[in-house]
Structure 1
C-alpha cells in the first residue's frame, strides 16, 4: 500500500519521542533519477574526510538492511529487529504503511548512533514522503525530475516537480541538478517563496566530461577530477550534483576526488562476474551486466551508457512492473538493443507478464521474445550469440532478485 500523507508519520514519531529531531545534520535528496548514485558519491566524499555518515535509501536490492546504514555500516539484524519491533509496539495497530514503519525505525537508529551527517533519500515524491519530517535540514538536493509515478505525483512535469520541491525548507540551501525548464521554474518559484538559496546546474555550477576525466566548476573555482567510477554518461550529472553538495558543505579537492572514485552503487550498469548467471554467460564468451533503471529517463541513461561502450551487440533480458511506462522505456532502448527477451519478475504481484513486455518491445521495433525466467533467458541468449553483451534490466526488484541469487 502507498498512501501519501504525513499525519500518520508525525503522530507516530511524536509517540516515539520525535527521534527525527535528534539525528545528525541531514542532507535531504529528492528527484526522479540519480538520487541513489548522488547519495553514494556524497557519502564517499564525506567518509574520505574521516566523517561518520548515516544513510537511508530505498528500495533494497539483496537485503533489507541496505536501507539503513549507521555511521558507514549496514544496520545489524539485531538492531533492525529491535527498532522495527519498537515502532510496531508504539504504533499499536493503527493504520500505517510499510515505508513509514521503516522510516521511523531508521530515525530511531540514527538518533541513537553517533555520526556527523545523515543522508536521507526520499522514497516517493517529496512533499508528502515519510522522510519529509525534518524541520531544518543542513542541505537539500533535487536530482533530475522526469515523468514517473504519475498515479501518485501528477501527470505533468510541473506537477511532479512541485512534489519534489516540497522538501525545501525556509532558509535552507538547495543544490539542483540538471532540469528541464518547466521543472526548474517550479523549483525556483518555491525556493523564492521560502528564501532558499539555490545552487543550480548550468547557472551556479557545471560538470562536464573532458579528456577522459571530469571538470567541475562553480563560483569557488575549478576542480579537475577523474571520471566517475560509476559507469555511464549520466553519472557526470549525478557527480556534479554530489560535488556541488560537498562544496556547499565546505569540502574541497580531496573529498571531491573521493566522491567520484570511491562511490559504490549496485545495479546501476553493474557488471556481474560471479554466480551461476555470470558463469552461464562467460561460458559462451559473453559479458553480463545489470541495471535497475525502470522509467524512460532510466532507459535513456542506459542507452547512452551502451552507446559509449565498445561496439558490441547488446541483447536485453527485461522484466518490468505494470506501474511503469513500458512503452517509453522500450522506445529509449530500441536504438541500442539487438534483441530483447522478456521475463516475469518472480514474487512480485505487480509484475508485467512477459508476453506484455515482449509486445511493448516489439511495438518499439525491437526483436523480442519471451522466456520463463532470467536463467533460461541468459542461457538461451549466450548460446545463440556467443561473445555478445547481455544486459538484465527493467526493474530494481528484478535486479535485487538477480543480486540475491548471484551476489
Structure 2
C-alpha cells in the first residue's frame, strides 16, 4: 500500500483509497478453503485494538461516547434507526441528549451513510479529513514485529475496509464531541470489529437466524454464542423475542450469566400501543421498534430522565416523544416505496435489501400485502428485479421468495436477474464498487444464469431473463412501459441485496459520478 501523496486530498481520493482496502475475491475464496478459524478471528480483533492504540486511543476512552451496541441477524440496523430517532426527540437546548452518533453498515448510495451525526451522514469534507487523519497516523506509527508480524511494514499495511471504517468512526465521534453513539455490529458480535467497546450503556440483540455460517457456524447455538459476545460484565442486555428460533432464548440466558450482565430483558412487541404508527413499513417492524424503545429508555434513565416520563410497559403507554420518534424514523432501502420518478411515472418501486432467509420471508410478505392493500393491483404488470452475488445460499433466498409469493394470489409477469454493476459502461459508482466478487463471474452472468435456471424450475410458466447492469434493467422497464396502454401500471419488487438496492437508488436519482 503506497502512502498517499501530500497534495490536497478530497472525498474522491478518500473513497479511492478506501476501496483499495476491500478484500479481493481470490483472498476470500482462499480463506474459505481453510475452514473456520477461531484463531484468525481472535487475531483480527486484536488488530482493532492495536490500530486504535496507534491512533492514540484506549478502549476505555470510548466510554465517554455512552455507546449503545446492537447485533442480530435481521433488524439490527432498523433497531438502531428507531433508537436514534427516539433519542433525537430529546435533543435541544433543554434536552438531556447532545450529539448523537450512528455507525451502521452497509451503505446504500454513499459510504458516508455509515457514519452519521444527528441523523445525517458526515459531509464529504469531514469524511476526507477524518479518513486521512487515520490514514496518515497509521502510516507513521509502528506495531511490534514480534506481536504483529502480519502488519509489517506498518507504513503500508492498513486495516481492511470495514475495520478501517469502524476505527475511523470512533475517531470521528470522539473528535466531534458525540455523547451518545449507537453502533450496529457488522457480522456476529464476539469477534466483530466493533466489539472493542469497553463498557457500553446497554447492549441489544434483534431477531436471530441462520446466516454467515462460514464465520458463525451453522447452528442457532453457535450463532447465538457469537451474537451474545457483545454482552459485557455489569451492563444491561436487552433481547428481542425470538419468534423464528425460540430455542435461542435458553442459550442467551446461559451466555448472559456467563458474561455477567447486570440484567437481561426479553422484549415483546406488546410493550407498544396496539395501533402505534411507525415510520418504517412492515408488521415485523414492531419487534424492532419495541427493542429500540427499551434501548432508548435505558439511555435516558441513565441521564436522569424521571421514570414517570419514560415508557409504562405494563400498560403499553409511551411518552409523546417516544411516539414521535417511532413515527418519524426513516431508513432507505427497507420496505421503501418510490413512485413517480421522472421518466418512470407509471412504475412503482418496492425496495427492500432483504438478503437472509428470514428477511426475505418478511420482505416478500410485505410486498404481497402491498399488492393486496395499497391499490387495485390485479391488472398491474409485476416485475421482480433480483440479485445476490456473494452468498452461497442465493438460490435458497429465491426459493423462499417464490414460496411466499406462491401462497398469495399474485404472480410476477417478468423476472429479471441483474448484476450489481451500476452503469451501461460497465462501471460502478465509486461509493458502490465491490471487489469482493469475481469479475469473471459477473461479466459472464454466471450467478444470474444460475438464478434464472432455479426460477424457471420453480415457475415453468415464467421465463426469467438476465441483465448485465442495473441501468440496462431500468431502461428496459421504461421502454416496456411505453409499449403498454395508458391504463397499465407496473410494480417492481427489488430485493436480494443491499448492493443492488443502492445501485437502483443511484440510477433512479441519476447520480452518476
The answer to whether TM tops 0.5 is yes
Compared CA separation, residues 198 and 365, structure 1 to 2 (3 A):
farther
Query: Could you tell me which of 226, 239, 252 is aligned with 1:163?
Result: 226
1:209-228 to structure 2, matched below 5 A, reads: 216=272, 223=273, 226-228=276-278
Instruction: Report the structure number with the largest CA radius of gyration.
Output: 2
My pick for the range that moved more, 152-161 or 28-37, is 152-161
Q: Distance in 2 between matches of 1:381 and 1:25?
A: 52
1:323-362 to structure 2, matched below 5 A, reads: 323-334=391-402, 335-336=404-405, 338-339=411-412, 340-346=415-421, 347=428, 348=434, 349=437, 353-362=447-456
**8 Å CA contact 1:45, 1:255 repeated in 2:** yes
What secondary structure, in the 3-state scheme, does the structure 2 residue paired with 1:181 have?
coil
What secondary structure, in the 3-state scheme, does the structure 2 residue paired with 1:125 have?
coil
**8 Å CA contact 2:350, 2:367 repeated in 1:** no
TM-score, normalised to structure 2, is: 0.70
**8 Å CA contact 2:203, 2:231 repeated in 1:** yes
After superposition, the C-alpha distances for 1:274-296 in whole angstroms (9 at most, x for unaligned) are 545xx33x33xx42221111111
| 1:49 pairs with 2:90 | yes
| 1:83 pairs with 2:130 | yes
| 1:321 pairs with 2:321 | no
1:211-250 to structure 2, matched below 5 A, reads: 216=272, 223=273, 226-249=276-299, 250=301
What secondary structure, in the 3-state scheme, does the structure 1 residue paired with 2:247 have?
helix
After superposition, the C-alpha distances for 1:293-338 in whole angstroms (9 at most, x for unaligned) are 1111111111221233242354311111232422321222213262
**8 Å CA contact 2:189, 2:195 repeated in 1:** yes
What secondary structure, in the 3-state scheme, does the structure 2 residue paired with 1:28 have?
strand
Q: Distance in 2 between matches of 1:66 and 1:19?
A: 26
After superposition, the C-alpha distances for 1:213-270 in whole angstroms (9 at most, x for unaligned) are xx62xxxxxx465221211111111111111222333344123202320101000111
| 1:391 pairs with 2:490 | no
Q: Distance in 2 between matches of 1:389 and 1:76?
A: 34
TM-score, normalised to structure 1, is: 0.88
| 2:369 match | 308
Compared CA separation, residues 109 and 322, structure 1 to 2 (3 A):
closer
After superposition, the C-alpha distances for 1:112-134 in whole angstroms (9 at most, x for unaligned) are 11233100011111111110001
**8 Å CA contact 1:298, 1:329 repeated in 2:** no
Q: Distance in 2 between matches of 1:42 and 1:263?
A: 9
Compared CA separation, residues 170 and 316, structure 1 to 2 (3 A):
same
After superposition, the C-alpha distances for 1:149-192 in whole angstroms (9 at most, x for unaligned) are 11111111211111111111112111101221232222211101
1:368-387 to structure 2, matched below 5 A, reads: 368-372=463-467, 373-376=472-475, 378-379=477-478, 382=481, 386-387=488-489
**8 Å CA contact 2:367, 2:493 repeated in 1:** no
**8 Å CA contact 1:149, 1:324 repeated in 2:** no
Compared CA separation, residues 72 and 265, structure 1 to 2 (3 A):
closer
Q: Structure 1 regions of 5+ residues with no counterpart?
A: 209-214, 217-222
State how many pairs are aligned.
Answer: 386
1:5-84 to structure 2, matched below 5 A, reads: 5-18=44-57, 20=59, 21-22=61-62, 23-50=64-91, 51=97, 52-84=99-131
**8 Å CA contact 2:388, 2:497 repeated in 1:** yes
My pick for the range that moved more, 43-52 or 329-338, is 329-338
| 1:263 match | 329
| 1:141 match | 204
Deviation, 1:384, is 6.6
What secondary structure, in the 3-state scheme, does the structure 2 residue paired with 1:69 have?
strand
1:108-119 to structure 2, matched below 5 A, reads: 108-119=171-182
